[in-house]
Structure 1
Amino acid sequence: MSIRHVVLSDLHLGARDSLLTHVHGSGEIADGPCEVLAAFANGMRETLADQEKPQLVLLGDALDLGLSPFGDVSKSFLQLLDAFFPADGTDLFDREIIYVAGNHDHHLWRMAQDHGFVSAIAGGQIPGDLDAVTTIFGTPSHRCRMMESLIAHRPHLQDASVRIAYPNWGLHDAGSGRAVVMHHGHYLDGMYRALSHVRGFLGDGDPRPATMRQLEQENGPWIDFLWSDLGSAGEIGGEAGSLYGTMLSAGASHDFAESIARRVTGGLHSRLGIDPKMELKYGVTLDNLIRAAVDLTAGRAAERQRDGYGHVLGEAEIEDIGWYLGKPLAEQMRQELAYTPRELSFIFGHTHKPFQDELLVDGCDVPVGIFNTGGWVLDEPTLMPVQGCAAMLVSDDLEVASLRLFNDPTDGTIAPVRVEGSGRETRLVDEAGEAVERASRHWAEFSRIVHAHIVEEADKRVRQMLDKSNEQLREAAE
């Protein structure tokens, strides 16, 4: 057995709170990979030694376009290339990368949609509309032009490419009946289905879309409007700061939601001449509806995020996963495969809380293996044990295992890198575990470096919070 795919999510390259962004003391993006990224590449290279190079799957929010300037993000992506595909060393992965966009980098999917439409026109066709989604299975036809343009800055990678899929990408084997599907995870979160909630209210229908196409057509513009490229949005981007930091404060998240609602209603009035006070139904005005929708998504989701730092999944999250797998995903798989996979594994990220488990899903004969990648950003200074990061390993016969890289060291220690499965016995867990053990010296060094950076960053944030609090007290006294 060999590892054919390595799945990484939520790298947030370019973000100052990402462990993978290499920043000078002055705050500028540095050249070359940082200590954490270099140590991770060394551990992976030793673990994957003596086997064919696997394909890298970047499962959304790899580029922090949602909150960081495009230039910072671009320079940080080059740091990743230098670690994984060094000019003076051996490639870690196959040179064809699969990219599945998330909420922070949905802009990349929009760019791919636009390019596909323009290319069709140039070829003599006029499509009916933009491609809302891609097929789940097979090599994606869309290319990520921004990332490929950055790759061109490294002449030794002239044959490398980045294929972009959205919102899912997967693998299947008709013989074994196995399938693995990957999705960034934002559509499991009600915050990113805001316009579906609005449609459900106006039409008294089910707010959960029945198909992937409907899900993206309704909510893709909402993600583009607010979440996809705040890093280049000037004043509002600066005000937003870190969404996850905002979520830690009830007052801050309420103010943020109110600010969003004011901008939406103000824009409708000034640009389109639409009166926010116009009545829709039941005495509810457009302004009422927008404020309620934002509160139910951004505001309430912020509350769930704060309350959820102590566990990986709550009841609502489990219900949303069941809906996503059992309805829109199942429908698209049936259309593409003409059969229902006997054994399904589902990989996602977004929550920054890694875990692996099994979940009973309507329509599936056996429990679905659920794997979350966690993330590489430090969301808060008060560390919680459920926060951390993992890389997903997918074998040639579509078994999945989680390479648990780290969790926040709340007790002063950090658990060693290890391989874990969802509960069922697999050869991959055993064999990958042996490979990690052989590379234990490299992984121990990785753990040491990560631990030091987490503690350093946490101390810095606590000092910043104390300084800000003292400043507010001084202003109040004056």
Structure 2
Amino acid sequence: MSIAQFVLSDLHLGARDSLLTHVGPGGEIAAGPSEVLGALTEALRCTLDGAPRPQLVLLGDALDLGLSPFGDVSQSFLQLIDAFYPAQGPEIFCRDIVYIAGNHDHHLWRMAQDHQFVTALQAGAVPDDLEAITPSIGQPVHDCRLMQSLIAQRPHLADATVRIAYPNWGLADRDSGRAVVMHHGHYLDGMYRALSNLRGFLENGEQRPATMQQLESENGPWIDFLWSDLGSAGEMGGEVGSLYQTMLSAGASHDFAESIARRVTGGLHARLGINPQMQLKYGITLDNLIRAGVDLTAGRAAERQREGYGHVLSDAEIDDIGWYLSTPVAAQLRDELGALPRELNFVFGHTHKPFQDELTVANFELPVGVFNTGGWVLDEPTLMPVQGCAAMLVSPDLEVASLRLFNDPTDGTMAPVRVEGSGRTTRLADSTAEAVERAASAWADFSRVVHARIVEQADERVRRMLDASNQARREAAE
């Protein structure tokens, strides 16, 4: 077995709803790795025993900056580092980590953009603008300064690096015509293309951008403004709580949108003296425009996601994947490689619903292998079978296999950890399946710990919902 890259996504470290965050009895971030993280580490150590250490790729939303304070996120990330790279004992992965930012941690990419711009200024140059995207193929060159500063607190990891890429990163082999592209997955979701949608509406033209440069230039500021670091927004961040709460009911979606709209309009008036009732055109006020814009993105998108809990992908989501791969991804690959690869595997997360399949995509000669990592958060108080988590494995010759870690149990049992491919027979899937079988006892322990944590977390969420409902009834009675 030879694994070159080990891909994890949607860890949401620092979030109380993450199965990996170690939360104390008072809701605080506790010391040391969580029981789930410890069981995962031990199972990986048994599985990878004797094999070369793979490169760890964190495919976005590893840090829950969108909804959790930086301090909580930082402590939780160090727990991950202590588990995977212990001061005493064998390290699981090599020390060259790749980070691909997502929507909840887009702010890390913005930090890298700012640093690159300032560095150019210090060298005597004045760039035209911030660097919108990085190359999709080849080792990233930008430091993820937050993560490297945290790792620097562990003296035994003095030579470790974390390089950041955005919005895509991958590998290509010109000789075999094979390539792997990884993207967190948020640009497959119309919520995060809101400004492109608005531009297309105003121009009565195509809403979905043709290039990565256009996609990020139009929507990056929107993601960073509203989705990337609400965890440090003080009262607003606490009031919003968790985006996943908005998916529980249509009322929650509407209330969430209303909460954001009130904060935005109130802030404009209090801090900038801008009257939200000012007339814009055709009797529309600034308040009307902001409320409509937020509801069309936050509220409507939450409803679409909620309706999707019974299946892995809707027809609209499949269409968005086809657009993303056939248009902006294809354009970027042509620019960098001169031609499209004959065989492409695409890895993404974001939906928290793991799967693997093949899709026919325009412009590509062969069906594209499509793999989703799922995620480590419990989105619903009632467990849904399509939710769960997987790790993606990439071999040196760019085969991809899915290490299916768990799905939320609906019948009181957990499916065993297993290896699956997209439909093609691969040496990677076969050899990894054998290694997982040899470590079956450690993976059984992992499944037991995850199951217990899921049940505990689900019970806690139902309790919180009932408490909130009872409190609302008491206030209404008064």
Q: Same fold, TM exceeding 0.5? A: yes
Partner of 1:389: 389
Superposed counterparts of 1:34-113, under 5 Å: 34-113=34-113
In the alignment, is the contact (CA less than 8 A) between 1:344 and 1:369 conserved in 2? yes
Superimposed CA distance per residue, residues 9-43 of structure 1 (whole angstroms, 9 cap, x where no aligned partner): 00000111111111211222122111100110111
Superposed counterparts of 1:237-316, under 5 Å: 237-267=237-267, 271=272, 273=274, 277-279=278-280, 287-316=287-316
Q: Using the alignment, how far apart are the partners of 1:309 and 1:333 within structure 2?
A: 33
Q: Using the alignment, how far apart are the partners of 1:459 and 1:268 within structure 2?
A: 40
How far residue 471 of structure 1 moved from its aligned partner, in angstroms, is 2.8
How far residue 268 of structure 1 moved from its aligned partner, in angstroms, is 5.2
In structure 1, stretches of 5+ residues that fail to align are none
Superposed counterparts of 1:114-133, under 5 Å: 114-133=114-133
In the alignment, is the contact (CA less than 8 A) between 1:197 and 1:293 conserved in 2? no
In the alignment, is the contact (CA less than 8 A) between 1:311 and 1:386 conserved in 2? yes
Q: Using the alignment, how far apart are the partners of 2:404 and 2:456 within structure 1?
A: 22
How far residue 245 of structure 1 moved from its aligned partner, in angstroms, is 1.3
Share of identical aligned residues, percent? 75
Superposed counterparts of 1:156-167, under 5 Å: 156-167=156-167
Within the alignment, does 1:420 sit opposite 2:394 as a pair?
no
Q: Using the alignment, how far apart are the partners of 2:116 and 2:334 within structure 1?
A: 25
AA at the equivalent of 2:329: L
Partner of 1:194: 194
In the alignment, is the contact (CA less than 8 A) between 1:57 and 1:97 conserved in 2? yes
Partner of 2:441: 441
Partner of 2:150: 150
Q: Using the alignment, how far apart are the partners of 2:146 and 2:409 within structure 1?
A: 36
Q: Using the alignment, how far apart are the partners of 1:463 and 1:48 within structure 2?
A: 40
The alpha-carbon distance between structure 1 residues 94 and 392, as it changes in their structure 2 partners (threshold 3 A), is same
Superposed counterparts of 1:338-349, under 5 Å: 338-349=338-349
How far residue 141 of structure 1 moved from its aligned partner, in angstroms, is 1.1
Q: Using the alignment, how far apart are the partners of 1:290 and 1:366 within structure 2?
A: 44
In the alignment, is the contact (CA less than 8 A) between 2:196 and 2:215 conserved in 1? yes
Superposed counterparts of 1:213-224, under 5 Å: 213-224=213-224
AA at the equivalent of 1:239: E
Q: Using the alignment, how far apart are the partners of 1:292 and 1:197 within structure 2?
A: 13
AA at the equivalent of 1:390: A
In the alignment, is the contact (CA less than 8 A) between 1:69 and 1:232 conserved in 2? yes
In the alignment, is the contact (CA less than 8 A) between 1:268 and 1:276 conserved in 2? no
Q: Using the alignment, how far apart are the partners of 1:278 and 1:217 within structure 2?
A: 29
Partner of 1:173: 173
In the alignment, is the contact (CA less than 8 A) between 2:171 and 2:398 conserved in 1? yes
1:303 partner SS: helix
1:412 partner SS: coil
AA at the equivalent of 2:447: S
Partner of 2:236: 236
Count of residue correspondences: 477
How far residue 276 of structure 1 moved from its aligned partner, in angstroms, is 6.1
Q: Using the alignment, how far apart are the partners of 1:286 and 1:27 within structure 2?
A: 39
How far residue 256 of structure 1 moved from its aligned partner, in angstroms, is 1.5
Superimposed CA distance per residue, residues 197-231 of structure 1 (whole angstroms, 9 cap, x where no aligned partner): 11112222211111111111111111111100001
Partner of 1:141: 141
1:3 partner SS: coil
Q: Using the alignment, how far apart are the partners of 1:392 and 1:32 within structure 2?
A: 26
Partner of 1:205: 205
How far residue 378 of structure 1 moved from its aligned partner, in angstroms, is 1.0
How far residue 305 of structure 1 moved from its aligned partner, in angstroms, is 1.2
The alpha-carbon distance between structure 1 residues 422 and 272, as it changes in their structure 2 partners (threshold 3 A), is farther
Q: Using the alignment, how far apart are the partners of 1:213 and 1:284 within structure 2?
A: 32
In the alignment, is the contact (CA less than 8 A) between 1:240 and 1:246 conserved in 2? no
Report the TM-score when normalising by structure 2. Answer: 0.96
How far residue 264 of structure 1 moved from its aligned partner, in angstroms, is 3.9
2:318 partner SS: helix
AA at the equivalent of 1:420: E
Partner of 1:13: 13
How far residue 50 of structure 1 moved from its aligned partner, in angstroms, is 1.4
Q: Using the alignment, how far apart are the partners of 1:6 and 1:355 within structure 2?
A: 16
Superimposed CA distance per residue, residues 29-82 of structure 1 (whole angstroms, 9 cap, x where no aligned partner): 122111100110111111111111100000000001000010000000110001
AA at the equivalent of 1:255: D
How far residue 250 of structure 1 moved from its aligned partner, in angstroms, is 0.7
How far residue 476 of structure 1 moved from its aligned partner, in angstroms, is 3.4
In the alignment, is the contact (CA less than 8 A) between 2:276 and 2:285 conserved in 1? no
Q: Using the alignment, how far apart are the partners of 1:272 and 1:306 within structure 2?
A: 37
In the alignment, is the contact (CA less than 8 A) between 2:322 and 2:361 conserved in 1? yes
The alpha-carbon distance between structure 1 residues 331 and 139, as it changes in their structure 2 partners (threshold 3 A), is same
In the alignment, is the contact (CA less than 8 A) between 2:346 and 2:371 conserved in 1? yes
2:4 partner SS: strand
Superimposed CA distance per residue, residues 143-191 of structure 1 (whole angstroms, 9 cap, x where no aligned partner): 0011000001100000001000000000000011111000000110011
Superimposed CA distance per residue, residues 330-352 of structure 1 (whole angstroms, 9 cap, x where no aligned partner): 10110000011101111000011
Partner of 1:450: 450
Partner of 2:326: 326
The alpha-carbon distance between structure 1 residues 288 and 360, as it changes in their structure 2 partners (threshold 3 A), is farther
Superposed counterparts of 1:371-410, under 5 Å: 371-410=371-410
In structure 2, stretches of 5+ residues that fail to align are none
The alpha-carbon distance between structure 1 residues 17 and 275, as it changes in their structure 2 partners (threshold 3 A), is closer
Q: Using the alignment, how far apart are the partners of 2:178 and 2:266 within structure 1?
A: 50
The alpha-carbon distance between structure 1 residues 127 and 444, as it changes in their structure 2 partners (threshold 3 A), is same
Superimposed CA distance per residue, residues 387-411 of structure 1 (whole angstroms, 9 cap, x where no aligned partner): 1100000011101010000011111
In the alignment, is the contact (CA less than 8 A) between 1:9 and 1:184 conserved in 2? yes
Q: Using the alignment, how far apart are the partners of 1:13 and 1:333 within structure 2?
A: 32
The alpha-carbon distance between structure 1 residues 325 and 285, as it changes in their structure 2 partners (threshold 3 A), is farther
In the alignment, is the contact (CA less than 8 A) between 2:401 and 2:420 conserved in 1? yes
AA at the equivalent of 2:101: A
In the alignment, is the contact (CA less than 8 A) between 1:265 and 1:276 conserved in 2? no
Q: Using the alignment, how far apart are the partners of 2:417 and 2:177 within structure 1?
A: 31
How far residue 112 of structure 1 moved from its aligned partner, in angstroms, is 0.4
Partner of 1:28: 28
AA at the equivalent of 2:184: H
Partner of 1:363: 363
Partner of 1:336: 336
1:171 partner SS: strand
AA at the equivalent of 2:461: R
